[in-house]
Amino acid sequence: MKALAVFAVLLGAIALYSLQPQLGQSDESAQTIATNYVVYRNAAITYAVNNPVTTGTLTPAMLGLPSDWRALRIWQNRVEGNTLYVYGTASSQEIVAVQNILKGSFAVGVNQNNHLVTSHGTCVALPSFIPEGNLTTVISVR
């Protein structure tokens, strides 16, 4: 009888453990990609704000990224007029992770039909050089 009771307790413990949310590899990967994007984005914003006459694409050398930083995706940027665009391909999990890191910023979203769609539903017109579905940041730099 004791063996049956011990078995029931262990079975219950296993059941409770299996119900706990677990951080899977894909969640960790999404967080890593999101952090990588945010570092690149922040470096581009800093450069563009501190160099207001800059236009066009900012090269990685211009951005002053940490020496050990490596792009995990092909992140791109462009300054046009008074606006900096930072963009690149990302999965839906990675986009959510970026939005979480940036606390639901109104400046970050996805390009849908040449409009920035944020987690708040904000819709800002985007230039056609940003590919459809890309994770995108739009910042006024002047």
| Domain map (residue ranges) of the chain | 25-140
112-129 confidence digits (pLDDT tens)? 999 999 988 878 999 999
Residue 133, CB half-sphere, CA atoms under 13 Å: how many?
5
Q: Measured on CA atoms in the order 65, 118, 80, 133, is the torsion positive or negative? A: positive
CATH, domain range 25-140: 3.30.450.360
Q: What pTM does this model have?
A: 0.80
* Residue 13: per-residue pLDDT: 43
Residues of the chain short of pLDDT 50, as ranges, are 1, 3-25
Helices 92-101 + 25-50 axis angle, to 10: 60
Q: Residues 6 or more apart from 17 whose CB is under 8 A from it?
A: none
